[in-house]
Amino acid sequence: VQLQASGGGLVQAGGSLRLSCVASEQILSNYVMGWFRQAPGNEREFVAAISWRNAKRIYADSVKGRFTISRDNAKNTVFLQMNSLKPEDTAVYYCAVRMDTYYSSSMYKYASDFDSWGQGTLVTVSS
């Protein structure tokens, strides 16, 4: 599966952005989609993930209440709605997919848990 992320840009603190990630083929119900981010000089960190089967969601503590991950099954697309953005949210945002053969109720938040990655989209939040 190839992933194409888009929607990044420059926004003032307190503003909003919506990221999209389109998959090149059908996302199966056993899969988990995730968003990660990487700021300059930092390691890639988990942001959010969603189960394709039941839309179960998990978030990093740093974005809870501000970011929302969602999916459009028909369009094989995952979204990340980012509200109340802060300068510390500035990073390259990556979408990723974990392609399990069988459904698991487990959720995943480590980069090594995911199998395929998009190219990243830059989000810059000015103060």
pLDDT at 80 (0 to 100): 98
pLDDT at 104 (0 to 100): 84
Tell me the per-residue pLDDT of 5-27, one tens digit each, with 9 for 90 and over: 999 999 999 999 999 999 999 99
Tell me the per-residue pLDDT of 88-107, one tens digit each, with 9 for 90 and over: 999 999 999 999 988 888 88
Average pLDDT over residues 53-76: 95
pLDDT at 21 (0 to 100): 98
Q: Please provide the DSSP assignment of the chain as one string.
A: --EEEE--EEEETT--EEEEEEESSPPPTT-EEEEEEE-TTS--EEEEEEETTT--EEE-TTTTTTEEEEEEGGGTEEEEEE-S--GGG-EEEEEEEE--SS--S----SGGG--EE---EEEEEE-
Average pLDDT, the chain: 95
